Amino acid sequence: MYTYLYIDCPIGPLWILSDGEAICGVHLEKDGICSSLEENPDSLCRRCALELQEYFAGKRKAFDLPLRLQGTEFQRKVWKALRQIPYGTTVTYGDLAALAGYPRAARAVGTALRNNPLWLFVPCHRVVGAKDLGGYGGPDGAPIKRQLLELEGALRAPGEV
């Protein structure tokens, strides 16, 4: 059974999903995934909300939450490599592909990132294009990516990665 918690964040309203043992998902309310959810948080959801509040306040650089990522073997390898990118730094899609053991799979890495259900905790926003920010979670995700990178101090100047 899953439990849910709704929280307001600087990037928009979020729903946190827990299975009681691990955080399984985080969804922006606008995603439409959450339209039928009712809040029934467990202690893990509340702990997650506290860590997110600390992160957005600039007081937390790493999350200390049990996470459950379900995906293909390729996706899990990409997500594992993604967790190695330190707070406040960025790598390119090509860099992440090499780090995951697939040096010629930058485009496939982008697809794996798009399917990451824990995008705030397994930090997709730290992966950028070679010449620009790259994509992020849909057509209006770029402002969120920029906001997260600015929060972490990962943008060198306005418009630069």
Active site residues: 124
Listed residue (48, 45, 117, 44) closest to 79, CA to CA: 117
Length of the chain: 161
How far apart are the C-alpha atoms of 57 and 49, rounded to whole Å?
12
Dist CA 58 CA 38 (whole Å): 29
Kindly list the distances between the CA atom of residue 16 and the CA atoms of 58, 69, 110, 152, in Å, as whole numbers in the listed order: 20, 14, 23, 21
Using a 10 angstrom Cβ sphere, with 0-12 exposed, 13-18 middle and 19 or more buried, the burial of residue 124 is: buried
